[in-house]
Structure 1
Amino acid sequence: MKKVGFLSFGHWANHSAYKTRTAADTLLQSIDMAVAAEEIGINGAYFRVHHFAAQLASPFPLLSAIGAKTNKIEIGTGVIDMRYENPLYMVEDAGAADLISGGRLQLGISRGSPEQVIDGWRHFGYEPAEGKTDADMGREKALEFLDKLKGVGFAEPNPYPMFPNPPGLLRLEPYSEGLRERIWWGAASNATAVWAAENGMHLQSSTLKYDESGKPFHIQQAEQIRLYKEAWKNAGHQREPRVSVSRSIFALVTDQDRYYFGQEADRKDKFGYIESDKRAVFGKSYAAEPDKLIEELSKDEAIQEADTILLTIPNTLGVDYNVHVLSSIIEHVAPGLGWR
């Protein structure tokens, strides 16, 4: 049995074919999408985070709004770029959003992906320490975030405070118990997947990873997941790890589906470069009649290794069509794969 969630990139543009022409459209439709997804039995609503782009960038107001409008669906990110974050402020925001949702946050974080501007985190006031890279900075901030989520006091109280203090060192508030155990790391390499396991984070693996063997994408991703699980076991954590993989999957059940995604049917994995010097493999999209989809997806080794599938949705096509996309997978494909 697998959990099935959706992952929205949150695009908008003033385009005649788009249902999301403004940021307000995207934000409000994201809330509506999560509510509708919960109603049809989808397990998770996840959102990408990108800065300096016409996409979702500030996740906590959105996650809080969704938490207030839903009751059981998991709410998460995939992923928050830690290079841009103040870890302590993020602990407060995340704690508030988690309490509003009743403890349903599943936060995906990472050192980040290529962004729209050069060294965008510098504009946010952050610089790597001398001799460190921006990736080092992102991982260091992640560890500080994890540490402060434990709710252990660390700040010396003012002897003349505005309000009475409890005894001892003070922690950040509001504290949400259990949130530390619901943090995921978006890993693009085998090494960072192992690092995530060692530090007690769940694993998010998307449709892109660094090419470390030349093998097909799903095989490389499955190998990454197995290394992660082994490292988790070796670390001695007393809870079960979770692993999500993202896929673009479209069941062609209507003429509209075939019009939008019929051309995806012959897609293959692609190899290329990101950040100019890192060779990567990009996973293919899946689009076919339901029976064919079940046959193809049953051969995807990484899907077999994961417990959660995040279905990327074309948010610009609007809530109604995306509910149809998800419903088609739930009704016609998931049962044949044992996902639910």
Structure 2
Amino acid sequence: MPPTSQPLRTLGFLTIGLFDEADPGRGHTSTLELIELGEQLGFDSAWVRHRHLQYGISSPIAVLAAASQRTSRIALGTAVIPLGWENPLRLAEDLATVDILSGGRLNPGVSVGPPMHYDQVKSALYPDTDDREDFGYERVRRLLDFVRGEPATGFSGTEGFEVFSDRVQPHAPGLGRRMWYGGGSLRSARWAAEHGMNLLTSSVVKAEESEDFAQIQLSHIRTFRDHHPDGERARVSQGLVVIPTDTATPEQRAKYLAYADKRLPRTRAPQGAGRLMFAPDLVGTSAEIAERLSADAAFREVDEVAFALPFTFEHDDYVQILTDIATHLGPALGWRPAS
């Protein structure tokens, strides 16, 4: 194991769930099959990412409801649901339902901010209130309250033959402690901590105090734990793109390297008005990737990861990558598969 501060305790993976517009069923089935494979390989968690009005998973909760019936142990997460597209009360009902169906395995990750391309979608999404919607942290707070069982209404009791509850039903005990915030800024890290959430860090951060990706991410992790009631025990999961090549064919290795090379220029300086910094994709043997991670200041602070699968690859590529992560990279980082 590389000289990290602690062995890797929790190993997960993240998929975007792409599909062909002409055959969307196949893409969704592929995602479910990968989650099943992940459980078989001993992964601790599987996460899905949303894509609205694109050819990727648009309804992660529906996909995870299906996954909950195909698996029995692996944790199921969203990384992340952008709340600008959601009604917190209705989302709380969906989250609680899937958590009950999964036996308490759901790990919802959320984020805030206006929906992407808001000017183009606002008339469809909020035709009457587009100029009055609040896309800030208040939307998360409302969701947390509903998930944690706070009253949603002042009315409860029996009316005729029907019985009404004043809080979201079903109520899923424990789900409130499994809520994650996908944050890429110091402000988000602190807000998530002060509201008792867990923190998802990814391969994208805001360049606020530095232009060194690992140092920026490290500052977010430490700020989060400094302000969380659980302190150093507060949960943080890192989500870099890793592509091990231990059992890859020569053709797959060439494809993986070309993919990473194409994305490398964006990692060299902050991008756009938001000054976003991107982490380089890690491609190589598991031993090589483990060595690079051991030198990553942020990775040394965590014992949970949800490695992101690259976009646009084929199903067989993902099978190879997941198998190498579970059988080569994870053990190289001190991880042991779940039984």
TM range (shorter): 0.7 to 0.9
TM-score by length of 2: 0.87
Cα distance in 2 between the residues matched to 1:262 and 1:289: 12
1:231-280 deviation per Cα after TM superposition (whole angstroms, max 9, x unaligned) = 11xxx359942111111111222323312213467647332434xx2111
Equivalent residue letter for 1:43 = D
Partners of 2:131 and 2:180 lie apart in 1 by: 25
Q: CA deviation at 1:10?
A: 1.9
Residue equivalent to 1:249? 242
1:18 corresponds to: none
Q: Secondary structure at the match of 1:310?
A: strand
Structure 1 regions of 5+ residues with no counterpart? Answer: 15-20
Aligned-residue Cα RMSD (Å) equals 2.5
Secondary structure of the residue aligned to 2:159 is: coil
Range 201-210 or range 314-323, more displaced? 314-323
Given that residues 3 and 307 in structure 1 are in contact (C-alpha distance below 8 angstroms), is that contact kept between their aligned partners in structure 2?
yes
AA of the residue aligned to 1:160: E
Aligned to 2:13: 6
Aligned partners of 1:92 and 1:172 also within 8 Å: yes
3-state DSSP of counterpart to 1:27: helix
Which of 124, 142, 145 aligns to 1:144? It is 142
1:211–1:239 Cα change, 3 Å: closer
Quote the Cα distance in structure 2 between the aligned partners of 1:116 and 1:297: 34
Alignment of 1:338 with 2:339, yes or no, is no
Q: TM-score, normalised by structure 1?
A: 0.86
User: Does structure 1 residue 188 correspond to structure 2 residue 184?
Assistant: yes
Correspondence for 1:210 among 206, 209, 224 = 206
> How many Å apart are 1:41 and its aligned residue?
0.8
Partner of 1:71: 72
Equivalences for 1:103-114 in 2 at 5 Å?
Answer: 103-112=104-113
Q: What is the number of residues matched between the two proteins?
A: 322
The answer to whether the aligner puts 1:262 opposite 2:260 as a matched pair is no
3-state secondary structure, aligned to 1:79 = strand
Shift of 1:154: 4.1
Return 82-91 or 5-14, whichever deviates more.
Answer: 5-14
Q: 2:27 & 2:186 partners in 1: Cα distance?
A: 34
Partner of 1:22: 23
* Residues 238, 283 of structure 1: alpha-carbon distance in 2 compared, 3 angstrom cutoff: closer
Deviating more after overlay: 323-332 vs 117-126:
117-126
Structure 1 121/237 Cα, relative in aligned 2: closer, same or farther at 3 Å? farther
Q: Does 1:95 align with 2:79?
A: no
Are residues 1:198 and 2:194 paired? yes
Distance 2:140 2:118 in 1: 22
Which digits, 9 at most, give the CA deviation of each residue in 1:72-101, with x for residues without a partner?
Answer: 111011110111111111111111101110
Indicate the residue corresponding to 2:4 in structure 1. Answer: none
Cα shift readout 1:4-24 (whole Å, capped 9, x = no counterpart): 11111122346xxxxxx6322
Counterpart secondary structure, 1:335 = helix
Task: Give the superposition deviation at 1:123.
Answer: 2.5
**Relative to 1, partners in 2 of residues 1:26 and 1:57: Cα closer, same or farther, differing over 3 Å?**
same
Distance in 2 (alpha carbons) for counterparts of 1:116 and 1:128? 13
Query: CA contact under 8 A between 1:247 and 1:311: conserved in structure 2?
Result: yes
